Structure 1
Amino acid sequence: MPAITFKNKPVTLLGNEVKVGDKAPEFHVLANDMSEITLDSSKGKVRLFSVIPSIDTGVCDAQTRRFNEEAAKLENVEVITVSADLPFAQRRWCASAGIDNVITVSDHKDLSFGKAYGVAMEELRLLARATFVVDSSDTVTYVEYVAEASSHPNYEAAIEAAKAAK
């Protein structure tokens, strides 16, 4: 597993590290309306997963806004923001921020995404910051585990990977 810190303190990641070329792991998360979302929910599309610790923090806010702006320009790419925030908090935040190009999903229930993609921080029950691109055939084409969870991801690399995926 990659070495991750949160505010410069090491954290333990649960699950398995995902690598480029892997088949994307299945997961079960909740949409803002409490319906279940899985990998198969977006089958046949390119997916850019933007993983954040909490929507109500500065870097997570900026990351979600940046990918929301980029999502409007990406053809045939679904941008999904994943956090352990409650669906109600995500819905409230999106409404107040005018976010409508990304899908926010909650991994609060059982950290299914976090464990499947190796981003569940055991000590905090939050997700570590990461980005993943999964192509339309469910193959992982891009992975970034951000070494310090309070730092920004490489937006340009993730966006270019999403554009290049088929």
Structure 2
Amino acid sequence: MANVTFKGNPMTLVGTEVKVGDQAPDFTVLANDLSQVTLADTKGTVRLISAVPSIDTGVCEAQTRRFNEEASKIDNVNVLTISADLPFAQKRWCAANGLENVKTLSDHRDLSFAEAYGIHMKELRLLARSVFVVDSNDTITYVEYVGEGTDHPNYEAAIEAAKAAK
């Protein structure tokens, strides 16, 4: 399993770590209108999945904004930002920040995504900061488990992986 800390404190990750070449595990999360969303709902497209601990924090906000900006420049890519925040908080945050190219999804109900991708931080019941790229055939082509939860991911590598995926 990936070694992850949050503010310097070691975290226990629950779930199954995924690797490049794996078939992407399915999951069920909630959209801002409380409808269920699964990986299959975006089948046939490239998915850049950005997992954040909470949309209301500085690094998470910057990460979501950066991928939102880049999404408009990449054809056939869905950018999904997933956190354990409530769908209502995500909707309010997106409206206040004018983000249109990224879909915020909530894993608060049962941490389905977090456990399928091995990023449920047991001590905090939050998602560990990470980025995954899934191609149109549901194969994982890029994985980054960010070692320290308050650090930024490697934006350039994730964006290049999304551009290269088919």
- In the superposition, the TM-score normalised over structure 2's length comes to 1.00
Offset at residue 97 of structure 1 (A): 0.4
CA deviation vs aligned residue, 1:120-160 (integer Å, no higher than 9, x gap): 10000000000000000000000000000110000000000
Residue 29 of structure 1 deviates from its aligned partner by 0.1
Q: Which amino acid aligns with 1:158?
A: A
User: What is the CA deviation profile of residues 3-38 of structure 1, one whole-angstrom value per residue up to 9, with x for unaligned ones?
Assistant: 000000000000011000000001000000000000
Match of 1:111 in 2: 111
Between the aligned partners of 1:75 and 1:149, the Cα distance in structure 2 is 30
**2:136 counterpart of 1:136:** yes
> Following TM superposition, by how much is the alpha carbon of 1:85 offset from its aligned partner in structure 2, in angstroms?
0.2
How far off is 1:89 after superposition?
Answer: 0.2
Letter in 2 for 1:5: T
Residue matched to 1:13: 13
The number of aligned residues is: 166
Unaligned runs of 5+ in 2: none
Partner of 2:79: helix, strand, or coil? strand
Q: CA deviation at 1:40?
A: 0.4
CA apart distance, 1:77:
0.4
Identity of aligned residues (%): 70
**Secondary structure of 1:142's match?**
strand
For 1:47, the equivalent position in structure 2 comes to: 47
- After superposition, residues 1-166 of structure 1 pair within 5 angstroms as 1-166=1-166
Letter of the 1:143 counterpart: V
Provide the aligned C-alpha RMSD in A.
0.3
